[in-house]
Amino acid sequence: MEDWHVVTHGRSDTVVRRSPDGRCYAKSATSEPAKEELVAERDRLIWLCEAGLETAVVAEWYDGGDTWTMVTTTVPGIPASEVPPYATARATSSIAMYLTDLHDLDVDECPFDRRLEVTLPAAAEHVAAGLVDETDFDLSRLGRTAPELLEELHDGALRASLEEDIDLVVCHGDYCLPNVIVDPETYDVTGVVDVGRLGVADCHADLALMTRSMAARHLNPQYGLECAQRLLATYPVEADPWRLDYYRLLDEFF
């Protein structure tokens, strides 16, 4: 794998590489938490493929030893974060359609649980284990500490838990522009990647992250607030601004 091109050195000891012919990606994990995340992602990719949604296909799996590696087939196209300014409206419609299809899957058929009863304790564990990157907080929260934010998360937990039951769907879990691949000519979504946090959760979890990704002028200036609003307007359920904020706060811990 020496001649494979390194794409990202993610957090938690994960490296993503692309094969020289561009047909495959390999994600390798070296630490125990990263290996656990890789297994979670592999199982979710297989499930999502079987559910009939476009995503990367698991081609090979190597475990044992210091490094575990998952090889997936390349989802053809470009990341939605690289769409040119004139095509962001078209891409936004496709991103909304993919989300609706994903959220239309039957939650009873999904074996992965990302409801607050799972994610809130996981957030607390991440804080306790020192895994939260305080330098990576959203601009509005920069300068605050992980324990402070955890307190805020707990303050809203009852309200968010009462409301999640009405809007439970199969969520991608990290639905942001770089994780959605689109056709460079039609801007139709060709598939999603990075599904390690897929599971049953409040639909606001996905709406929160994609609208934040679109509105992040420093990362994706070609989208902006207008695209974020268009996504929400297209979505079949009216979004609750309080929960959008809450799920962005929750994401700070992962």
Catalytic residue, chosen from 174, 202, 206, 251, is 174
209 interacts with ligand ATP by CB under 6 A: no
- Looking at 7-15, 136-144, 207-215, 233-241, which segment touches ligand ATP (CB under 6 A)? 7-15
* Minimum CB distance to Mg ion smaller for 14 or for 120: 14
* Minimum CB distance to Mg ion smaller for 19 or for 161: 19
d(CA 79, CA 198): 19
* Minimum CB distance to Mg ion smaller for 27 or for 243: 27
Instruction: Report what 8 binds from ligand ATP, Mg ion, none; CB cut-off 5-8 Å by kind.
Output: ligand ATP
224 interacts with ligand ATP by CB under 6 A: no
Site for Mg ion in 192-221 (CB under 5 A): 194
Cα distances (Å, whole numbers) of residue 109 to 13, 38, 48, 198: 32, 22, 11, 13
Neighbouring C-beta atoms of residue 194, cutoff 10 Å: 22
Any catalytic annotation for residue 174?
yes
* Minimum CB distance to ligand ATP smaller for 205 or for 239: 205
Kindly provide the residue ranges of all beta strands, DSSP E only, lying in 2-138, ordered along the sequence. 5-10, 14-18, 24-29, 58-62, 68-73, 78-79
Q: Which of 14, 74, 92, 179 binds Mg ion (CB under 5 A)?
A: 179
Minimum distance between the CB of residue 58 and ligand ATP, rounded to whole angstroms? 9
- Complete DSSP assignment for 72-101: EEPPSSEEGGG--GGGHHHHHHHHHHHHHH
Contact 101, 216 (CB under 8 A): no
Give the three-state DSSP class for 200.
Answer: strand
Binding residues for Mg ion, rule: CB under 5 A, are 179, 194
* Positions marked active-site: 174
